[in-house]
Amino acid sequence: MLFPESFQKLFVTLSTTKNGSQSGATVLQVPVKIFTLRHSPIQSSIVAPSEASRKVLLLLHGYPQNHTLYYETVQELSKAGMLESWDVVIPDLPGYGRSTKIPSVDGSHYENSKRAIAADCVALIDKMYSAGQRFIVAGHDRGARVAYRMAKDFRDRILGICLMEIIPTKLMFERMNSSNDHQLTLNTYHWIFLAQPPNLPETLIGASSDYYFSQTIESWTGPRYRGHLDPIAVASWVEQYRNPAVLTGSLEDYRAGASIDLEHDKTDETSGNAVVDCPLLILHTAKFLKQHKDVAEIWESLGAKGVTVKQVGDDQVGHFLPIEAAAEAIPELISWMNEIVS
């Protein structure tokens, strides 16, 4: 069992009204079904609005994982006694795992944009608690990009964001050039490959998805943990992509990242909306710092209410920070959370 018995398994259906085209001419009801784990010191499936004062932590996974990325995180939270006073919500991002997401019919990729996914996640909190519930969100990889967007679009709801292993999307694309003998470009080839139009990556990956994702997970894992990640978690990451809808969902995530997400980010820059006004905790590995030596400077310019940047783990730690560096990272997260809510 990856998670304690106190973590309930829930399917929450959201019926959200969204524009069916970029012109806004057609309005569609787009159902989203989200699978989530939920722990609460007070056990109930749906919390009454009068109980909206709870301390809530939302954990968002990245690619190519699902909610099981956070099994080590939950162990560390439990050791520290955080489960005695905090609600913890760990969904499969819409389009991943057992959560569903219908891609945009107009080719805009909006439904899988960070803006739309952030709105889905806030709607999940609304459904489980109330429309006024404020919360902290921590995200890794693609989930961190959703968290950053959430902090910009829902400023009155987010108490703080913890971002793990990212710099802003626009900067990532700008740095895929000739610097460092193209090493960053080679290491992040999937940003380009996964963003290709349908059905090229669907067909190529789908021909041997188990191999593709097993190889990806192994190559992104640091030397210390390689071959030692929990086999149940790894199996859930690999097997989910046998479902064509999940494969397409993950690809739409990257297609949005190379198109409409950049448009949204550009608008933020021109409107002064790129800086967030909640506390930021930035966690990164030693390997990530070698790629982006100015990670602290980047995020310090984007936070108006305090930015804390911490390196966790050594050079034996790979990309999967919430697992590989949990013993160092989660105490940092806990300390920061307690400062926010104290």
163 forms beta bridges with 139, 282
On the CB side of 40, CA atoms within 13 Å amount to 19
- Give the tokens for residue 33: 């079904």
Omega cis (within 30) before 199: yes
The 3-state DSSP composition of the chain as helix, strand, coil percent (nearest 5) reads: 45, 20, 35
Our answer to whether residue 319 is catalytic in this structure is: yes
Strand order in the sheet with 307-311: 8-19, 27-39, 86-91, 55-60, 135-140, 158-164, 280-284, 307-311
- Give the tokens for residue 195: 């963003």
Among 37, 146, 32, 145, which Cα is nearest to 99's? 32
Helices 71-79 + 326-341 axis angle, to 10:
60
Helices 244-257 + 142-153 axis angle, to 10:
60
Among 167, 153, 120, 150, which Cα is nearest to 293's? 167
**Residue among 141, 261, 265, 268 flagged as catalytic:** 141
Our answer to whether residue 141 is catalytic in this structure is: yes
Q: Please state, in angstroms and rounded to a whole number, the distance separating the CA atoms of residues 322 and 329.
A: 7
- Give the tokens for residue 44: 């109930």
**Residue among 67, 264, 284, 319 flagged as catalytic:** 319
Catalytic residues, by residue number, are: 141, 319
